[in-house]
Chain A
């Protein structure tokens, strides 16, 4: 076995271990030099990204799943932690590492004037470890441990600016809700362990019978993970946490909420996917109906509350809530169609999974633009800004790209995924697709209002001398904008090669 084979077979463990080693080395390196620490963090994330893309190329082209047993060869009498990497896991890992890398590049200039930066980079690397561990693992208790690692480090990063009281308040609310949600997940895992004496997801999927205790465990798991993903009526922490965190942290937090959404998908489709056909059809029908109702409520609440905000980042946070509603609507429609028995469920799942990566890129770009506006003007309230397009040309262009992508206009990637969602919802019920299209149009109205009031208009004398954002921030925004345009111009390539293997994991043996 040459060196490439060894690295490839060990890459699921290396993907989680390299950011962890980097996080522990950062305080020591930070005592030497500040710039060295920034470069070290970016290079650790780059090395992890290289391993992820290499593994993704093998999984998408070779169409196989990698599994990795920690600490020994796979025997049947010893309980070991197993990492199970299939197409959906590596898809979410790609999203997580893109967001973490872009956020760290952006933070070079954005957080330059803050103190305590060695703890900041350590926490970013720990949060990346938690996100990657959550999506790669195949063991229920390991999922809980990585969920807690992610929520603790992201809470410390939300409350990073300790000179502002409302940021600490947002962090406190976030950790209270995260801790209670994670404890309910642990309770459900204990219930499942007591019934079947197994913690591995594959063993549970083979052994599960759908009696009363399993239903309680399913409700607790889906409820707690949906609370972390920001679905109405448990979304109260999302505007505070996204709106008051520093801008690159809001970007990486989008990845955290989507990793929790991945947890919901994994529980519903893999752990509970092995039950018998009659029970599964009934379960998917009722679950699909409930998810569709919650999704409509999420979209409407997100869009209506976004209309009346005056704070730039809080408005983008409510738009993020509405986008999560879109994702859940597609997946709920897919569940309902599987329950009813029609064949359009495959397209609904494809639209939902494709929208996950599109939403991460679009909302991420909008947060970065809001951050660069704050860096230049030190203002977050929209009625005090105006006429910024004269001095900040590149930021305005990036904002226009983000605006078109969120509203679902061609040639951006939002158009491709939203079109698939509209078509698949039309098969379930035409009224729902009208509601979805109206929500998109209202989002467009919200952001055009922001564009007009912040960037166009007469120049305010206080902002006559604002300069353009520094180069590292522009480079980060340029990376995401290039990805948005690339995904929008070639959606076929992305769907056939990347989204379809991920969707096949979800539907598994349901539609074949």
Chain B
């Protein structure tokens, strides 16, 4: 079976490197309201890390471990989180998508923003924006990884002369 992945050296190195790529992607998602980045960019970085694992281990093995249904559930949870936060803005703040946590001294993400200070701001600011970044990041990770996994699985089955 030629499509069972690459050699043992490649498999070991990718398994070691993958947590660093994952943490770097989560850092980009979490700091989306301060530095360039956000939901889609960080999600694309983590999805690239997952695709690296896919290339090293082979798509047939990966499809047996991670079924496509689980990825679909994760993707739906991310999307429902995003729309749910927008609807909560309707209930709490009387306008759709309103940012009701910002500047409100809530414990999670609600500190005030100090203007006029020429340095990077506090991470504890900007209301529901980091939460929406997490929801979008989860959806992008699940979605992009599912696309590449299904494409790899479909063409590998094709090569064996279905």
Q: Please list the residues of chain A having a beta carbon within 8 angstroms of any beta carbon in chain B.
A: 6, 10, 13-14, 17, 20-21, 24-25, 27-28, 31, 68-73
Contacts and interface: CB of A to CB of B under 8 A. Distances in A.
A73 B76 contact: no
Interface of B: 69, 72-73, 75-76, 79-80, 83, 86-87, 89-90, 94-99
Contacts of B96: 10, 13-14, 17, 68, 70-71
Contacts of A70: 95-97
Contact of A71 (B73, B80, B87, B95): B95
Given A10-B90, A20-B83, A28 B95 contact: no
B112 to A, nearest CB: 17
A47 to B, nearest CB: 14
Given A10-B90, A17-B83, A17-B86, A24 B98 contact: no
A17 B85 CA distance: 12
Q: In the A-B complex, list the 4 residue pairs whose CB atoms are closest, starting with the nearest.
A: A13-B96, A24-B79, A71-B97, A27-B76
7 contacts: A17-B87, A20-B83, A24-B79, A70-B96, A71-B98, A71-B99, A72-B95
Given A21-B80, A24-B80, 13 more contacts: A13-B90, A13-B96, A17-B86, A20-B83, A24-B76, A25-B76, A28-B80, A31-B73, A68-B96, A70-B95, A70-B97, A71-B95, A72-B99
Given A10-B90, A27-B72, A28-B73, A21 B95 contact: no
Contacts of A21: 80, 83, 87
B90 A72 contact: no
Nearest to B79: A24
A27 B139 CA distance: 14
B95 A24 contact: no
A275 to B, nearest CB: 33
A79 B76 CA distance: 30
Contacts, number: 45
A24 B78 CA distance: 9
Nearest to B83: A21
B95 A69 contact: yes
A70 B99 CA distance: 10
A68 B97 CA distance: 12
A72 B99 CA distance: 8
Nearest to A22: B83
Contacts of A17: 83, 86-87, 96
Contacts of A71: 89, 95-99
Contacts of B76: 24-25, 27-28
A21 B83 CA distance: 7
A70 B87 CA distance: 12
A24 B69 CA distance: 15
A460 to B, nearest CB: 37
Contacts of A31: 69, 73
B127 to A, nearest CB: 11
A73 B94 CA distance: 10
Nearest to B139: A24
Contacts of A6: 94
Contacts of B80: 21, 24-25, 28
Nearest to A1: B94
A435 to B, nearest CB: 49
Residue in A21, A24, A28, A31 whose Cβ sees the most chain B Cβ within 10 Å: A24
A14 B89 CA distance: 13
Contact of B98 (A20, A27, A72): A72
Contacts of B75: 27
Nearest to B69: A31
A128 B24 CA distance: 37
A13 B95 CA distance: 9
B129 to A, nearest CB: 11
Nearest to A122: B76
A6 B79 CA distance: 25
A138 to B, nearest CB: 15
A31 B68 CA distance: 13
Contacts of B86: 17
Contacts of A69: 95
A14 B90 CA distance: 10
B29 to A, nearest CB: 20
A31 B67 CA distance: 14
A415 B72 CA distance: 49
Contacts of A20: 83
Nearest to B99: A71
A14 B91 CA distance: 12
Contact of B95 (A14, A25, A73): A73
A28 B79 CA distance: 12
Contacts of A13: 90, 96
Contacts of B98: 71-72
